[in-house]
Structure 1
């Protein structure tokens, strides 16, 4: 039997039908649209029912129909309590729900949901306990739920001495049919996992390449979320300056569309609009912190109070969930960054004890059901001169292990690095090959070294027996990053050394960090349009890779090209992708090949279709000249991408 570990994964119900004489609520609709209070429509992921739910003589709920990869959300009536109850509902209760289909079993842990509609009511009390589950298999499913009560039971593995709290109708059944989604919506293809150094849709042959926004890191420091504010403004060397104002994203209000989600009679529109805009550019990933207490922004935390680490803000977290669901429907991966270098030791002094386990449990439970998500162990993880109280090797390994063993969906776990060696390598040398870390969220200060660093750590990981997925997520220098289009219209160094250097060296993706000392920086950016050109350039690279390359089977061989700072990525005997910073007298060594290759050119700045140049084909067995590309149509530049395909 295939058993998946007990995690914290739950399902939220925004609209529910109370079945007569039952203590269970179900999100039921005859279609995938529900009405908000303002009359706007918003997409939900709930079940589709062809008729009324039925309850048999054993109080088993049945006749529910869900779509594959859509979230199943079930609410149970349990004891009446509150966020600040003396008997802590987050720590002293544990809802376990077992979902079974054939020989596949998922053990999912539920969470306290106040009144079941806290995103709208801001309730901090109630008797609703919720579970979320995303089924991957078609066919019949059953579930069985149990609620336990014992001091600290939420972070203890032993339930034998716990009291069982009665919840009626704790068993049910439902059917899963094929997903009705298409395009970038992750419900069309399923869950992303780490495989052979890349993101891959689980149980398919489809791979996925990441391009997106690394800033603002405090994305969730947003005025429309309940109880969200800046604890203190700051203006320190080494970080972006802040004021008392938090994010409102006013310029993106126009990007919200009728039918998009909102909460509380119109809140959330500007953030939803910002995500709409980013998705429209082809970007598919956003990096954000879920806790920056003691960190740079000091405006994001999941707790009811920022100095009480065992009580969570139910309504705020439900509002986060509304945003996360929308991101998934727009094809945006949730890059969840769990802590900052300044607060690595805030919980349990860096250990994975009661407080850290509880924090991780709640996030996994409430948000782990999402299909495209990776857990980042923390920004700049490990001690540094400016933050000497970082986690040590034993502590970061314990944290990674706990996440992998608690998350039932096997989401990738990444480690965000320092920006240079030996500070970076001292940490990575001790964790490379560790099976509970799936890869690196790389920070790199010197742009020209990007390709070499990625290739080196991919090789080190492979030699250590556990391949790493490496994404280039924070390019330096820390004060600069990716500046505005108005400051750097063609983003030449980012395009050459970082974007194409990463992807043609085996990197699994790129995110753009905005730096600390430029307008619209890593903490105060309100308008993603300020870097519209950068998103376009990034999307050109993503489209080229997806349409032309089996990149997950390719290897970097930069020395095959005669030009300095050129890159070569190849699947031997099949295809070569070359980045040439200039094309004059460019050659490639094909002495190890046989047969003919057709030659195409791609414009990395202006994008477009593949084009023909002065040479149509080259033949293996010798060093071959690549000829000249076509004339540039659009903004002038010297760099080109050359594609060789075996005929």
Structure 2
């Protein structure tokens, strides 16, 4: 068997992988190092490799330019160095590169294509059975979702009492047969009964997650990976700083080269009993050092916001703090943090006992439209009770609600925005939510090229508008719940738009060039 394997070419922003046979004695996860240096005409990138079991080491690289590249692989895992070369070809259709922050408050792929996030939360869908995972992919294929939040570690919480398909470490878990719906809280944070070697990863666990990430990538869906979370009965949330650091470096070495990666340091960071702010800052430092591609980075709250002004945070990942207000606060958060605002949890459509998981489809749809018109990016989740306790928010599978059916229309409308991104229009009336393109400012001319006006739960039967006497506008009326768009024609001067007098209506006014 050849010690060294790699492809002769790879497309731009794809994964170039080198596979090498190396030392397997001792503990290859900690005893040996492997590193790759990749050099092209426009970049030189140094990355860590990792041990993948069975004597195999891998080094992965995502090229950002086309052309010829060379590489050198070094480390104590072998007695020699390896060198080689490969060609980077043009990206294929649908490959726009990783998502970046654009226009301060928004996102675009690296090739400049705007990215409008329509996200969903599905914490451990990737750790379910093959059958349930396939159902999840089928549901995603038939939805508007282009981002999904999910975990590396399994999750212990209401409706999450089963064991995952695999574990991230070698060892054995506690006996879960003692768990019931009534006593599950007794086992939260417990470590007794678990027997893990936190210096030896289980490669099959990570290989499976990689397959999920690749399939998401090929579907045009960003993988918002939650690297740590507090809902734990296996001891993963109570690891030492040294164990955490080893875990972070392994995750970064394995996943960084995938272009659809986003790093979420934690789900509800403030519920960790054993971690302080300096711990999270330490993990952020590891990301900034070990991810040469600078994927998007965030940290998510339960009660108290992290300081989203920290320079390593690329965008705000927000869970609402108020029982009623969520999207209504986007203006405030934009002004405070000067970064994209992603509302990853604004309550879920469903009917469980918890207040975060029992709002209606109409209300979640309203929050989506209001957040978008205020210049933010809302997130979806669904928590409907069922006999098998399979809830989309955690397990994936199929969706039973109504809100997700309405998001494609919103995404289509967002994609019609001139330039990149919407922002709240300060000069609009107090009784409407009006968005204009982000690049327009108060210093520019009064008449804008584009207005998107949302009426939320208000029910006007008509609205009158006047911008000037000359500019011609195309006017459309949008029923955001019934998913209809009615072209009302071209207007100028003072004009009246008739409305049906029911909630969830919007008006799109676009200047005719």
- State the TM-score, normalized to the length of structure 1: 0.66
- 1:588/1:521 CA distance change after superposition, 3 Å: farther
In 2, distance between residues paired with 1:539 and 1:109? 39
- 1:591/1:627 CA distance change after superposition, 3 Å: closer
Give the equivalent residue in structure 1 for 2:47.
108
Contact residue 317 and residue 341 of structure 2 kept, 8 A:
yes
Contact residue 3 and residue 21 of structure 2 kept, 8 A:
yes
In 1, distance between residues paired with 2:384 and 2:277? 28
Give the equivalent residue in structure 2 for 1:142.
70
3-state SS of paired residue (2:71): strand
1:137-216 correspondence runs (5 A): 137-148=65-76, 165-167=78-80, 170-180=82-92, 182-183=93-94, 188-195=95-102, 196-202=104-110, 204-215=111-122
Deviation track 1:447-496 (CA, whole Å, cap 9, x = no partner) reads 7522232221111012xxxxx2221211237825566xxx95xx211111
Displacement of 1:100 in angstroms is 0.6
Displacement of 1:363 in angstroms is 1.2
Q: 2:253 aligns with which of 356, 365, 385?
A: 365
In 2, distance between residues paired with 1:291 and 1:528? 22
Q: Please state if 1:23 is matched with 2:7.
A: no
1:408-447 correspondence runs (5 A): 408-418=292-302, 423-424=303-304, 427-428=305-306, 431-444=307-320, 446=322
Give the equivalent residue in structure 2 for 1:290.
152
1:436-515 correspondence runs (5 A): 436-444=312-320, 446=322, 448-462=324-338, 468-476=339-347, 479-481=354-356, 488=360, 491-496=361-366, 498-514=367-383
Q: Please state if 1:612 is matched with 2:487.
A: yes
- State the TM-score, normalized to the length of structure 2: 0.82
- 1:399/1:517 CA distance change after superposition, 3 Å: farther
In 1, distance between residues paired with 2:469 and 2:311? 36
Q: 2:423 aligns with which of 555, 560, 563?
A: 555
3-state SS of paired residue (2:22): strand
3-state SS of paired residue (1:210): coil
3-state SS of paired residue (1:90): helix
Deviation track 1:480-535 (CA, whole Å, cap 9, x = no partner) reads 5566xxx95xx211111x1101111111342325378996436664532323x322
Deviation track 1:559-602 (CA, whole Å, cap 9, x = no partner) reads 61353xx4211134221111123452554776699834332222
Give the equivalent residue in structure 2 for 1:133.
61
Give the equivalent residue in structure 2 for 1:403.
287
In 2, distance between residues paired with 1:349 and 1:316? 20
3-state SS of paired residue (1:611): strand
1:28-107 correspondence runs (5 A): 47=7, 64-81=8-25, 87-107=26-46
- 1:193/1:304 CA distance change after superposition, 3 Å: farther
5+ residue gaps, structure 2, are: 174-195, 441-447
Contact residue 447 and residue 476 of structure 1 kept, 8 A:
no
In 2, distance between residues paired with 1:593 and 1:77? 74
Q: Please state if 1:393 is matched with 2:277.
A: yes
How many pairs align? 469
3-state SS of paired residue (2:476): strand
Superposition RMSD in Å: 3.2
3-state SS of paired residue (2:253): helix
5+ residue gaps, structure 1, are: 1-17, 27-46, 48-63, 82-86, 115-125, 150-164, 225-247, 250-270, 463-467
Q: 2:474 aligns with which of 587, 594, 598?
A: 598
Give the equivalent residue in structure 2 for 1:341.
230
In 2, distance between residues paired with 1:342 and 1:524? 12
Deviation track 1:191-247 (CA, whole Å, cap 9, x = no partner) reads 112232222212x321211213213x12133235xxxxxxxxxxxxxxxxxxxxxxx
3-state SS of paired residue (1:99): strand
Deviation track 1:269-304 (CA, whole Å, cap 9, x = no partner) reads xx1342133122222122111124666647454222
3-state SS of paired residue (1:560): coil
In 1, distance between residues paired with 2:393 and 2:436? 39
In 1, distance between residues paired with 2:329 and 2:239? 28
In 1, distance between residues paired with 2:464 and 2:451? 10
3-state SS of paired residue (2:23): strand
Deviation track 1:593-627 (CA, whole Å, cap 9, x = no partner) reads 9834332222212335x4223x74244xxxx6642
Give the equivalent residue in structure 2 for 1:354.
242
Q: Please state if 1:584 is matched with 2:450.
A: no
In 1, distance between residues paired with 2:334 and 2:233? 26
Displacement of 1:365 in angstroms is 1.3
